[in-house]
Structure formats: structure tokens, C-alpha cells
Structure 1
Amino acid sequence: MSGSTKKEPPLLRQIITNNVEISPGVHVISFRRDFEFLPGQVVKIGIDTDHPPRIYSICSGNQEDEVRILFNIKDDGFLTPKMAAMIPGDQLFVSEPYGSFLDHKEPAWWIATGTGIAPFYSMFRSGLNEGKKLIHGVRQLNQFYFEDELDWAMGNNYVRCCSGEQSCDVFPGRVSKYLTEINQLPDVNYFICGKALMVVEVRDLLIEKGVNYENIIAEIYF
């Protein structure tokens, strides 16, 4: 048995340029972009080199001057409460981008819950939204992050599902309920991003409705 281990990518120092609370307990933190990335990729982020970093999807277009990260505060977490308190000039430690949750210009459905919208917003900001349908599920109406921009650009191809509150133009229920009520799903790729239980539930539902397993690409948020 080989004693070699895979070396972790180094974490490079980045200086915070902005930190905005866009919804209660949900922040977008920014730093200057000094690397190339593909929409849908992730980075590891730490506040120092002593504690293990966490993985976050990039939430900005790949031609923008800044990299943005969307996150919600975990009250019992180590990293996110400290990130939420950061101000411009503070530093983060960030890895090079990596990951294979990648879409291209073919038609596809993007299915997200909560902050799982981050990679899809990166794809949207990178010009990959033509021929796409975005379905975003949340519990409260104030959790539809970036909704004005997405609604203006995507129109009927932007579907909001809310399980805890009701409003006009918002589907009353979870993403799985919305999908269940569709009789015939198109033959396209389906990208799913959210917590593990949601990803498994939606994947199984899509397969039940005739979607090929190979057409389902998933990213799990912890």
C-alpha cells in the first residue's frame, strides 16, 4: 500500500473588498479576481491557515473584476460567523477554483434550493442562461436571492417556489411539488444544487418521470 497522499491545494491570501447582508443571516462577500475559473466551480475558504477551510461555490461571472461568495451564517459554525463580521481590508485564504459542476450552452434546467443558487447565478452572470430554466426553492420570500435581476432576464424561465409563504407569481410549495405537477419533462440536462436530502429527492423524482440518470448532474451543499 502506497504511503503517498494527495497534496491539498494551497490557500492564497485575498483581501475583502465588500461584505453585504442581502437577506437576514445571508451575506455576499467579495474580493478582487486574480484567477480564471469556469462557472459552477468552487473554492476552499478559510480565515486562517490553522483551521480547515470550507468549500463554497463561486457566485459571480467569470469575466467580472471581483469574485463573490454567497453564504448563510451557521450559528454553531466556526467560519461563517467570522466571515459575516469581516469588513473591507480584512483577509481570507482562498484556494484555486476546481470542480466539475459545469454547464455549457445546451438547453438545461437548473434546480436549486437556498444558497444552492450560487453556481447557477455564476453561470447566469457568465452568459450561459440562454435556453435554461431556473427553479429556485426557499422557505421564505426574502430568500429569493438576486430575484429582480433573474426575473427581468429570464422571465417565465425563472420559477420561484416558496414552501412557507405565498405571493403572486410564486409557486406555493417545494421544488419537488412543482416538478411532480409537470406531466412531461423535456429531454435536457438537469443540474441540481442544494442540501443532500433535496438533491436525492429531486434526482429520484426526475428518474421516476423518465429522465435518464446520465442527464442529471448534482452538487451537494453542506
Structure 2
Amino acid sequence: MPKAEEYQKKDIQLYQQTITDNEEISPGVFIISFKRNYDFIPGQVVKIAIDNTQPPRIYSICSGNHEENIRILFNIKEDGYLTPLLAAMIPGDEILASKPYGGFIGTDQPTYWIATGTGIAPFYSMFQSGLSENKILIHGARHLNQFYFEDELDWAMGENYVRCCSTEQSCDIFPGRVTDYLKSISDLSQNHHYFLCGKALMVVEVRDLLIEKGIPYENIIAEIYF
């Protein structure tokens, strides 16, 4: 897993950026965009703030590394300070953002991408950057409208794109949690890497499950969403 201090470093400078787009793609879930002024490696993060009165929050980049804009996927935290303000922004408004950084890096190696909720963001960035070959994407959500980018991913990845829904059912969607799906697989490759992105509970549960199935610890790489 990445070390917390790698992401919480206080010496990362923030720069003024102008919002180019803000789209609500599902109830309470938004993609906000600003011009890409720096190169990045798919999987990296940026720190974002509205001003200097509150500490910035960390978000995975959700766009390909050759796109004109950097896009950030987020859902509104009703008790939060930042996300309600971000959701209300319009093109021309300004935010503060860091240069991309972080060690959750997409590679060409055979990998399982395992995400829940908005944890799909770094994997969509990897997908958009041409790294989906030899990848299996497993995305878990509570509701059917939370499989962000599903049409595009389903068309491009086919049977290597697996959706797991814990509260609703539909054809071609596994009825249950990501952990339920992984328990149903008897032949997980010990040679694959396993990238996990989502809330801490999911990451810990999936990590422990993979280890029980014989996956080497060093093959499990995690990004935790708070």
C-alpha cells in the first residue's frame, strides 16, 4: 500500500486553475475539469482546494494523460466543506490544484483493477491512457446508476469488465459485493498484480481475501479513498 505521508506531504504547492467544465454524471456525482498544464502518469493524484482557509483534499485524476484537460471525479459529501462548493462551480471559476504526484502507477503488466464507487477514477485514467490490455476491471457499487463510464468500458473491455451491485439486480451484473465475486473465483493468478481503489474497509477486506487465496502481498497495490 502507498504510505500515507506520500500523499499528505505539506510542502506540495498549489496553483490557480480555471474550471473549464463541471458535469453531474449521476445524482450527487460530478466531473470537474481544468486545463492540463503538467504531464502525469495514469493513477496519480492532485491536491485541490477552493482557497487557503481549509486544507486541500486529494483526488485521483480521471482523464487520459494525453487529454487537453485534467478531470476529477467526486461525489458530494454532505457534511464536507469542499465538495459542495466544487459541485456548484461553473466554467470560469477558479480553484487551487497541485501538480500531479503519487505512486499508484498504471503499468503494462497483467493486472486486476478492483474499485468501488468513485474509486474507478484512476483506472479510468489508465484505460483512457491506453493501458487496458491484459487488465480485468472489477467495479463494485451499491446502485446501478453508480457504474460510471460503464457503456464505454463495457464496449471496450467486454468480459474483462465486471460490475458487482450489492443492492439492485440487472442482467450481466454480478449480484453482490466485490468480495463476493472474488470469493467465487477459484483460479486467481498469483502472477497478476492487484490494484485496489476505494474506501479503507473495502481495501482491507479485499487485500485479506487475496492473501488468503495465495496472492503475494507485494502484488497488491492499494489506494484508499477517505
TM-score in same-fold range (> 0.5): yes
Which residue pairs with 1:157 in the alignment? 160
Give the whole-Å Cα distance in 2 for the aligned partners of 1:111 and 1:193: 6
1:180 equivalent in alignment to 2:183:
yes
Which residue pairs with 2:4 in the alignment? none
**What is the one-letter code of the residue matched to 1:21?**
E
1:100 equivalent in alignment to 2:119:
no
**What is the one-letter code of the residue matched to 2:120?**
I
Give the whole-Å Cα distance in 2 for the aligned partners of 1:170 and 1:215: 27
Is the contact between residue 165 and residue 175 of structure 2 (CA under 8 Å) also seen in structure 1? yes
Which residue pairs with 1:214 in the alignment? 218
> Deviating runs (4+, > 4 A) in structure 1?
none
Which residue pairs with 2:42 in the alignment? 39
Give percent identity, aligned residues only: 71
Give the whole-Å Cα distance in 1 for the aligned partners of 2:92 and 2:129: 27
**Structure 1 unaligned runs (5+)?**
1-5
Give the whole-Å Cα distance in 2 for the aligned partners of 1:204 and 1:44: 29
Following TM superposition, by how much is the alpha carbon of 1:103 offset from its aligned partner in structure 2, in angstroms? 2.0
Instruction: Please point out which of 187, 201, 204 is paired with 1:200.
Output: 204
Is the contact between residue 114 and residue 194 of structure 2 (CA under 8 Å) also seen in structure 1? yes
**What is the one-letter code of the residue matched to 1:97?**
P
Instruction: Please point out which of 182, 190, 195 is paired with 2:194.
Output: 190
Equivalent positions of 1:1-222 (< 5 A) are: 8-186=11-189, 187-222=191-226
Give the whole-Å Cα distance in 2 for the aligned partners of 1:196 and 1:62: 27
Question: Could you say what secondary structure the match of 2:221 adopts?
Answer: strand
Following TM superposition, by how much is the alpha carbon of 1:7 offset from its aligned partner in structure 2, in angstroms? 5.2
1:103-131 alpha-carbon deviations (Å, 9 max, x no partner): 21111000000000000000000000001
Following TM superposition, by how much is the alpha carbon of 1:10 offset from its aligned partner in structure 2, in angstroms? 1.1
**What is the one-letter code of the residue matched to 2:128?**
R
Question: Could you say what secondary structure the match of 1:190 adopts?
Answer: strand
Give the whole-Å Cα distance in 2 for the aligned partners of 1:190 and 1:7: 29
TM-score by length of 1: 0.97
Give the whole-Å Cα distance in 1 for the aligned partners of 2:61 and 2:80: 20
Moved more, 6-15 or 49-58: 6-15
CA RMSD of aligned residues (A): 0.8
**Structure 2 unaligned runs (5+)?**
1-8
The alignment of Structure 1 onto Structure 2 pairs a total of residues equal to 217
1:80-118 alpha-carbon deviations (Å, 9 max, x no partner): 000000000000100011100012111100000000000
1:12-61 alpha-carbon deviations (Å, 9 max, x no partner): 00000100000000000001111110000000000012211000000000
Give the whole-Å Cα distance in 1 for the aligned partners of 2:158 and 2:52: 44
Which residue pairs with 2:5 in the alignment? none
Which residue pairs with 1:3 in the alignment? none
